[in-house]
Amino acid sequence: MTRLFGTNGVRGTVNEDMDVDLALDLAKAIGTWIGKDKEVAIGTDTRASNFMLKNSVSSGLMATGCDVVDLGEVPTPALQYYTKESADFGIAITASHNPPEFNGIKCVNDDGTELIKWMEEEIEEIYFSKDFDLVDWYEVGKKKSDDALELYSEAIEDKIDKEVIRRAKPKVILDCANGAGCHFTPYLLRRLGCKVITLNAQPDGSFPGHNSEPTPENLQDLIRLTSKTDADIGIAHDGDADRTIFIDEEGEYIHGDRTLTLLAEKLVKKNGGGTVVTPVSSSSSVADVVEENGGELIYTAVGSPIVARKMMEEKALFGGEENGGLIFADHQYCRDGPMSAAKIVELVAKEGKLSDLINELPQYSLEKRSVECPDEMKDPLLDRLKEFYSEKDHDDTDGLKIYYEEGWVLIRASGTEPKYRIYSEAPDEIEAENLAIEHQKKVEEILGSML
């Protein structure tokens, strides 16, 4: 069957593959799938095409008898929390970290989680068949507005030690990437007791400050300001604020797997054990700290909805990905950038410098590479790779993860691009790089023999 949904909803270039017709019909398919008389919350990030797509999505939903609650520009986790508490379904109009010419439509179930594959496939079947359940004129849905941010802020504040933060009065430099976090995170951190200096905190869908992916290259201003002032921490969101990256007080960029490891260690230690869930792409340091503190680590395929569902099944206390997307089970089962920011600020206020906390963790080097691969060759290539490495110690939870004495390599197809991704990890940079080069060459060699 032709796929419409990717790893995180439906995305595309505006007015090319992501246009008003697609948005309208997809919304009619969603409305048909969930049924009439349901209340659907819609939130957007700050992209220039948001009003256009939101209006199309709203119209499609109302045509199937659903009522629409317009939340305006909000972080995606704020929409998810509102949906969990107050609506029957949610839709985020966002392309997260993609460039400004992209936009997307992401679905949220009534429990605040993203849809899983079989749900998306049922919606796709309705979309492609055009078999929509349109209601009579007198049953069409209505539209209203509501505020999701106060409810969301109170939920985060209830789980953070505000007194310890207010006593420490940490100085935070916050980069909102001109995205949805502009409307929320500066105000949350101030309510918690931080002194907040903002960068790129004006909502602007052209992302004039920098591209919305929080990479080291894009965060040079934040890194410079954090290192050259007396700031305690730097914080950066992506475009829809479901992920957060941190800069320590010395101006060092903290990769997402380090934050994941740090919070996994602290939460498992605090709870005297417990289960943590993370994809096979995550650093071995997560397993080290979880097991050392009496916890259990469960690996999944890559993708935050998969991690969240496994957390629910296993009653896990924490989970997340190596890209800065962290999931706190006592809050909600989705990646939550503002909650991650609040948790790390609380930890720094309680225990001291972020650099010291990070340096105490097990140290590994991670290398990432990619190889162009046509979509139709992804499955045959994986079969050939599994055959070639069949004698090695391996795991095929997602793609192929090969274990070596000096580290591991993960080879998996991208869910959003015509590429294969290669991750390698080892105790030092040279070993990690050598593993990546060796396996990149092998992938290219096998793929070349198949084309």
Known catalytic residues are 96
Contacts made by residues 438-445, CB under 8 angstroms, sequence distance 24+: 439/402, 439/409, 439/411, 440/369, 440/371, 442/385, 442/388, 443/371, 443/381, 443/385, 443/411, 444/371
Q: Is the dihedral of CA 206, 207, 212, 216 positive or negative?
A: positive
Q: What are residue 73's phi and psi, to 5 degrees? A: -85, 115
Strand order in the sheet with 67-73: 10-13, 102-108, 89-93, 39-44, 67-73, 143-145
Give the Å distances, CA to CA, from 425 to 337, 370, 409, 422, 440: 26, 15, 7, 10, 14
If phi over 0 gives left and psi between -120 and 50 gives alpha, with beta otherwise, what is residue 306? alpha
Residue 420 contacts residue 412 (beta carbons within 8 Å): yes
For the chain, the distance separating the N- and C-terminal CA atoms, rounded to the nearest angstrom, is 24
Q: Are 175 and 144 in contact (CB under 8 A)?
A: no
Instruction: Kindly state the helix (H) or strand (E) to which residue 254 belongs, with its residue range.
Output: strand 253-254
